[in-house]
Chains A and B, each alone.
Chain A
Amino acid sequence: MGMTMTQKILAAAAGLDSVVPGQLIEAKLDLVLGNDITTPVAINEMERFDNKSVYDRDKIALVMDHFIPNKDIKSAENCKCVREFAAKHDITNYFDVGEMGIEHALVPEKGLAVAGDVIIGADSHTCTYGALGAFSTGVGSTDMAAGMSTGQSWFKVPSAIKFNLVGKPSKWVSGKDVILHIIGKIGVDGALYKSMEFAGEGVKYLSMDDRFTIANMAIEAGGKNGIFPVDDQTIAYMKEHSAREYKIFEADADAEYDEEYTIDLSALESTVAFPHLPENTKTVKEITEPVAVDQAVIGSCTNGRISDLRIAAEILKGRKVKKNLRCIVIPATQAVYLQALEEGLLKIFIEAGAVVSTPTCGPCLGGYMGVLAEGERCISTTNRNFVGRMGHVKSEVYLASPAVAAASAVLGRIASPEDL
């Protein structure tokens, strides 16, 4: 029986010729990732190991991104704990304020993830690196500790759903609309325990940033991972960002999939997920009653990359954010921030009446900054709209692309750029 792309990567990492869905394997890890929330719990677990050393100081990445620059004493203590751990074990890839970025934007940018890698991260959006043709998946802190200690992790080999992408998306349709459309179609547990494998001629019309956004939200359909085939764009990205050797895996022609979907990118429109699940999707055109919003957030590991900011700036240029609406723009990494500065994007945001923050996950998880009051609504380029996700339990989050968030910030209601 043929294998999917994911199955082939896992088989190679486990030193096996082939694997089948459901098989339990132990695979070698190329990278173990943690952040300022999950790493302190992993460090506590590390203390319980007989062998307290790390397997490879070069293959661990610790990124302080959720509550930084620290919002309170407890989060400062957490970062201090990770900082001391990183120093003690001489961790090569420790990223603190000034060097950090939101982990899933930073890791590819720093060249720490390449095609063929097996990566675990104590953050659910670790699935992002599937955009590069790597197997990457989110785990908890104990798995992270075990990965740091042994360089291995156990996996149940997943079956897969194939998404055959065809056609070219129109001007304002981006990766966010593609993944929201898919989640709306299959539901928040539509890919539970499975790989989401993207394929087809439509892939070439998606930029690397689009692919990062799509793979990033595989977890919002319950997926174990999301993965893209490696093409010229992927190779160009990896050559620009990494000196590491990559390995290209391709799904077998006779690979078996639990389900197959064809997604016509040319037919997609600006899509929004209504509260309180990412599957509650509507196109902007399907919204009949105006949905007024109090805040717009443009950023996160899903949509804080340079192309996201360019789209938002294109819309906000020469326009003003609606009076009394708060528009928060968060470049995902220091490099994105600097690039946005050099391209004049920050000036456009500030002149439009938006605020620009240093990189942080901040408002996405209601951690700090941009937290919502009772009854408030936010249009957000982030990835979750659960009850209380961005603040008060009676606040609401609507998920959308940077184009929709920017247009909504101008009009004060959920809108697409075509409505301007």
Chain B
Amino acid sequence: MKAKGRVFKFGDNVDTDVIIPARYLNSTDPKELASHCMEDIDTGFIKQVKKGDIMVANKNFGCGSSREHAPLAIKAAGIDCVIAETFARIFYRNAINIGLAIIECPEAAKEIAADDEVEVDFDTGIITDVTTGKCWQGQPFPEFMQNIIRQGGLVPYINSKNKE
């Protein structure tokens, strides 16, 4: 599995309140949530983002509330993968559980620039900046989490485990 797209770049401590502000949490519809994704820090994001694009951020991405609406909004906005130095732990779990690809790689997160074309190979964990030609080895998921992702998220994983 691979992702390849244009990069939207964000900084440190991007919190779930800016990913999807609480004033929109009266909805659970991913499309509606996506239409407000990141609007409090980048009003241009949702106008410019295209299916298959990639989000790159620095440390502690997704800190704050446990709202699963945050990874749902990012995924429904068209983002195929989030690369960050580190992720806040609840966001990390939520992303795996709903099938949003994420990868930790401090060097790539620091060096990749906005608008670069980036490719991520999830089988090898290799991140390539096509624009600059630079390559990094991202942190691959532990086997257990790869199983959840392979099954398409936590619910199908549990369904298949219960059948065993």
Question: Chain A residues in contact with chain B, CB under 8 A?
Answer: 24, 37-38, 40-41, 44-45, 48-51, 66-67, 71-72, 74-75, 78, 121-124, 126, 138-143, 145-146, 149-150, 154, 188-189, 192-193, 219, 222, 224, 277, 365-367, 371, 384, 386-389, 393
Contact = CB atoms under 8 A, between A and B. Distances in A.
Contacts of B21: 366, 388
A74 B17 CA distance: 19
B49 interface: no
Given A123-B65, A140-B97, A365-B25, 9 more contacts: A48-B159, A122-B66, A140-B66, A141-B68, A146-B155, A367-B22, A367-B25, A384-B64, A386-B64
A156 to B, nearest CB: 8
Contact of B65 (A40, A45, A150, A365): A365
A325 B28 CA distance: 35
A170 B63 CA distance: 32
B144 A154 contact: yes
A21 to B, nearest CB: 14
A37 B59 contact: no
Nearest to B17: A386
A140 B68 contact: yes
B68 A124 contact: no
A48 B94 CA distance: 17
Contacts of B27: 74
A235 B69 CA distance: 38
A146 to B, nearest CB: 5
A72 B25 CA distance: 12
A138 B66 contact: yes
B154 interface: yes
Nearest to B99: A142
Contacts of A371: 23
B142 interface: yes
A67 B25 CA distance: 9
Q: Which residue of A72, A121, A124 has the most chain B CB atoms within 10 A of its CB atom?
A: A124
Contact of A41 (B23, B59, B60, B68): B68
A288 to B, nearest CB: 26
A78 B24 CA distance: 13
Contacts of B97: 140, 142-143
B17 A389 contact: yes
B115 interface: no
B59 A189 contact: yes
Interface stretch (B1-9, B84-92, B116-124, B126-134): B84-92
B17 A277 contact: no
A393 B68 contact: no
B110 interface: no
Chain A interface SS verdict (over half)? loop
B64 A124 contact: yes
B45 to A, nearest CB: 14
Given A45-B155, A388-B40, A72 B144 contact: no
Q: Which residue of A145, A192, A224 has the most chain B CB atoms within 10 A of its CB atom?
A: A192
Nearest to B25: A37
A389 B88 CA distance: 18
Nearest to A364: B22
A38 B66 contact: yes
A386 B15 contact: yes
Contacts of B67: 37-38, 140
Top 6 A-B residue pairs of the complex, sorted by shortest distance between their CB atoms? A140-B94, A74-B26, A142-B97, A140-B68, A365-B22, A189-B60
A66 B18 CA distance: 18
A388 B14 CA distance: 12
11 contacts: A24-B144, A48-B156, A50-B162, A71-B26, A123-B66, A126-B66, A146-B155, A222-B60, A224-B89, A366-B21, A389-B22
B113 interface: no
Contacts of B26: 67, 71-72, 74-75, 78
Interface string B95-110: 0011000000000000
Contacts of A38: 66-68
Interface in B128-155: 142, 144, 153-155
Contacts of B86: 189, 192
Contacts of A219: 90
A38 B26 CA distance: 10
Interface in B34-85: 40-41, 59-60, 63-69, 71-72
A37 B67 CA distance: 8
A124 B158 contact: no
B31 interface: no
A150 B18 contact: no
Nearest to A35: B66
